[in-house]
Amino acid sequence: MIAESVTNAREQEGDPTFPTSASVGKTKTDWLSDFCAERYQLRAILCDEVSSAGAVDLSAKIGAVRLRNPILAASGTFGYGLEFAHLVDLNRLGGFVTKGLSREPIEGAPAPRLFPTPSGMLNAIGLQNVGVRAFVAEKLPVLRKFDTAVIANVFGCTLEDYVEVIRVLEDAEGLAGYELNISCPNVKRGGMQFGSDPSAVAEVVSAARKAAKRPLWVKLSPLVTDIGLIARAAEEAGADALTVANTYPAMAIDFRTGKSRLGNKTGGLSGPAIKPITLRLVWEARKAVKTPILGLGGIETVEDVLDYLAIGASAVQVGTASFADPRASEGLVEALTNVLFDSKAFTLNEIRDKFLTENG
Ligand SMILES: Cc1cc2nc3c(=O)[nH]c(=O)nc-3n(C[C@H](O)[C@H](O)[C@H](O)COP(=O)(O)O)c2cc1C
């Protein structure tokens, strides 16, 4: 088809290099050079047709969850998705993770809740959310209209809380899976984070696994001495994927007033400042488990995305960057497509293989 239309167009335009009926009488050498020129140009046209940026395969598989591309918006930084729908084409994202959902609604921490720091941000939102039932009744029916993977982020203070939130979500349609936030204080163990202790991780993930038919991702806490140990505990208890990682406990004060910059006194550090630390956590976790990993921490640019993918993440999430630019994740999808196209890599595996060859 393409060859035919090229032939017709060039015959009509009287292309001098093209062997038409008008070129009868040319020498054998002329014919040969005409033929080569034609083949060369046709190949260029054909290559151009096939090798458009649209031909780059960005799809990613996280266990049973198939994503259009490996870029998701992260929990707590993208609301319930709906708040961003007038600014972002949700259908272009790999997906997004909802605000953390609890058994009952939570009002959250006192103001101020955010404070900017060099290359990052502190937050102490206090896990404010509408509660799982209101999410199912009011948000999910609207979210079902979008063709994107919606992952529900789930948290609690006890095992029973986690199980109950999942039980309510299991009865609802429109979710691709769950992400367990295990960076929460376990009230039955004196407030120690679930995610800091392998046995508590195993307990909460097993309980959630039994309750969930959908894919179960576990979001690890960075507040650990050996992320490999924690990653293995989550994998063995039935996690289908690991999100690495949550924010880093931190604080900022004003020495003039003697007050903390946050109403909650301490908060979580996020943004570019944490990227090198989290990148190492992804690297350590990847060596410890076979379960797919989603890299999350400080992603702003397409180079950040590729660093995480190269080191072994199957997909990434974008958090704080959405505060500066609500379209950050959508922009990264486009940038990733263009970078792969420009570097003549047609799948993400080609980028990954390069890093693995160098570093094992
Ligand atoms: C304002 C804010 C609220 C967050 N809320 C949640 C939450 O509800 N559940 C959760 O698992 N992580 C939450 N996070 C953590 C992010 O999902 C992400 O792990 C973290 O910000 C690191 O990524 P980033 O550097 O790209 O922001 C929140 C982060 C921020 C900045």
Q: Tell me, what's the pLDDT at 56?
A: 78
User: Measured from the CA of 321, which atom of ligand 1 is nearest?
Assistant: 26
Tens digits of per-residue pLDDT, 273-296? 999 999 999 999 999 999 999 999
Alpha-carbon distance 102 to 161, whole Å?
A: 7
Substitution candidate for ligand 1 out of 99, 114, 270 with most atoms within 8 A of CB: 270
Q: How far is CA 68 from CA 36, 52, 55, 279, 339, in A?
A: 40, 17, 13, 23, 17
Tens digits of per-residue pLDDT, 5-30? 333 333 333 333 333 333 445 555 55
297 lines ligand 1 (CB under 6 A): yes
Substitution candidate for ligand 1 out of 71, 72, 77 with most atoms within 8 A of CB: 77
Q: How far is the CA of 77 from the centre of ligand 1 (A)?
A: 6
Q: Tell me, what's the pLDDT at 55?
A: 66
Fold for 59-359, please state it.
Answer: TIM Barrel (3.20.20)
Q: How far is the CA of 353 from the centre of ligand 1 (A)?
A: 30
pLDDT mean over 77-103: 98
pLDDT exceeds cutoff 70 at 360: no
Tens digits of per-residue pLDDT, 51-78? 566 667 899 999 999 999 999 999 999 9
Alpha-carbon distance 257 to 116, whole Å?
A: 18
75 lines ligand 1 (CB under 6 A): yes
77 lines ligand 1 (CB under 6 A): yes
76 lines ligand 1 (CB under 6 A): yes
Q: How far is the CA of 261 from the centre of ligand 1 (A)?
A: 18
Output the residue whose Cα is nearest ligand 1's atom 7: 76
H or E element at residue 346: none
DSSP letter at 183 equals: -
- Which stretch of 34-43, 62-71, 287-296, 311-320 has the lowest confidence by average pLDDT? 34-43
Alpha-carbon distance 358 to 360, whole Å?
A: 6
Alpha-carbon distance 198 to 349, whole Å?
A: 31
Q: Tell me, what's the pLDDT at 28?
A: 53
319 lines ligand 1 (CB under 6 A): yes
Substitution candidate for ligand 1 out of 75, 101, 128, 293 with most atoms within 8 A of CB: 75
275 lines ligand 1 (CB under 6 A): no
Residues annotated catalytic, as ranges: 184
pLDDT exceeds cutoff 70 at 34: no
Q: Tell me, what's the pLDDT at 52?
A: 61
295 lines ligand 1 (CB under 6 A): no
Tens digits of per-residue pLDDT, 120-174? 999 999 999 999 999 999 999 999 999 999 999 999 999 999 999 999 999 999 9
Q: Tell me, what's the pLDDT at 351?
A: 74
Q: How far is the CA of 123 from the centre of ligand 1 (A)?
A: 8
pLDDT exceeds cutoff 80 at 268: yes
